[in-house]
Amino acid sequence: MSLDKIMNEAISPWMKGDGPDSDIVLSSRIRLARNFKKYQFSTMQNEEETKQIQELFKKEFINKTVEPFGEFELLKMNELTPLQRRVLVEKHLISPNLAGTEYGACLLSESEHISVMLNEEDHIRIQCLFSGLQLSEALQSANQIDNWIEKEVEYAFDESLGYITSCPTNVGTGLRASVMIHLPGLVLTKRISRIIQVIQKLGLVVRGIYGEGSEALGNIFQVSNQMTLGKSEEDIIADLKSVIQQIIQQEKMARELIVQNSSIELEDKVYRSYGILANSRLIQSAEAANCLSDLRLGIDLGYIQGISRNILTELMVLTQPGILQQYAGGPLGPEERDYRRATLIRERLRIEKN
């Protein structure tokens, strides 16, 4: 695996799979926050300590194979251009916070479904991504990487509290489980606000596709647990999975309601968006995301034939500003990005139909 391959292949291998409930659930993510006993928290570290953690990982974990994940590549933020960092964020391989650090780094697996972020808010954050609703499978992989790392380093751990983290909400298991979910039915029936309120009352958090502070582009929402103290990993996963399954049922009911009561209006909306995507010469990110959401809904409901439902996930990534500029070989102005975005979508749809 090379940096060029990571940068030039916008779609990570894990994104190409179809997991359970993938008509509504796009992906599942597990993130484990860990700190090393011998170092201060990342927020209090000096430059020398952050470099020591990078060197530790370079020495102990690079060019070593972990089955079934293969070898890992170490990407140092200060060796990447701002555009390369942005691409990693848009592929969901690192957080926006890590991209903004000078001495952060990322240990990335060949399949790109596992990344270990170094010197972010915590010393390490182990992230594992799976397609569809596969929280238990993602946790199993994350724990395997966690055990691999713990053989070489001693974590900051308290017998009564659990894993010690820089943010109090992560103390305990250090586990953040999240699901990316496509909810156009609940948005169109104007039920989404009530659903979000219920989710929040259950102690869960709803965010946009890039986490805290981001907006829900293309009717895609990220639902995750908030607190980890006092709960086991299994309980956190079971609670979140139960809520997600209820949301899936609510979304299916909303879609059925629209088909029953507003079928021609929905079909018109789907085909209008399809027409925009297939014919536009300029299109902005937000409009593209909304039209792709409509197209995905039309595919799921059988209005549109001959196009894979994975096109939403694929084109949502491919048409992000950083990846567009990476393909172009350098910076692009807003109108140039809109032109290239429209061109890419048209070509991708044409290939799909042929």
Which residues are annotated as part of the binding site?
Answer: 27-31, 92, 125, 176-180, 207-212
- Residue 69 CB coordination number (10 Å): 17
The annotation places the binding site for ATP at 27-31, 92, 125, 176-180, 207-212
Residues 6+ apart with CB under 8 A from 16: 131, 310
Closest C-alpha to 297, from 80, 23, 73: 23
Residues β-bridged to residue 75: 106
